[in-house]
Structure 1
Amino acid sequence: MRYKDAGVDIDKESKFVKALVSQITFHRRTMGEEMKFTGIVEFGDYYIAMNTDGVGTKILIANHLRKWDTIGIDCIAMNVNDTITIGAEPIAFVDYLAIDRYDLKMAEEIGRGLNIGAKM
């Protein structure tokens, strides 16, 4: 399966993000280097790296298999990967979970996967 088959058009998304970012001209401080996946905020003598990433179309496979722990692990892994690409150390995780139904088994498995991913 390709992203496009699942309704994700990477070219359209890229154009959308470029249009949005092209209008943001105000910056308090800059590190002088464009960050691709992680934002940087100067905090005194330190910088805080922040990012968010999701599991994308992998949720379709998890739903089909009714096995959701793997997407919890994947969510942690994708965010950690984006953070370490700039040499930052992951120290915290902020989650956002969009769901279309309240499924307790799904909630427990995603939570279990997030816990496993955080320990890795």
Structure 2
Amino acid sequence: MPRLLVECAQFVRHSRSLASMMPALLLSGAASLLVGVLLHAVAPDVVDAAGVPLLGWQEAWMTLWPLLFPLFYLASLVVRKARHLAAVRMTWQPGLGLAEIAAVSRQIDAGLGRPVLRGLKPRNDYLA
């Protein structure tokens, strides 16, 4: 795990493009906005004497966004690295087709020296 964090830190250090940070920036902004508004709306002490909700969610949003952005960005790096490692380890191998199965069956039949009768129905004395 520490090696993964070191590689993520090196990637962050070498990344000079805002485009690589844009998805994390937008997702963290949307998530912090949603959480800030929802938690502020359900709090019982956010209404004034007239019963009108106070508009303090902007402060909660601007406090939460800088905290969530590094977490989203580092999580996206970890997910990208894990996806890359999974793709590297996974090798595509074709499965067996009908021709390969038939060829192996013929080889086994020839090795046994007995003919295999396929498609025959058993007689009545074989029924249990």
Q: How high is the TM-score relative to the length of structure 2?
A: 0.26
Q: How high is the TM-score relative to the length of structure 1?
A: 0.27
Tell me which protein shows more strand as a share of its residues.
1
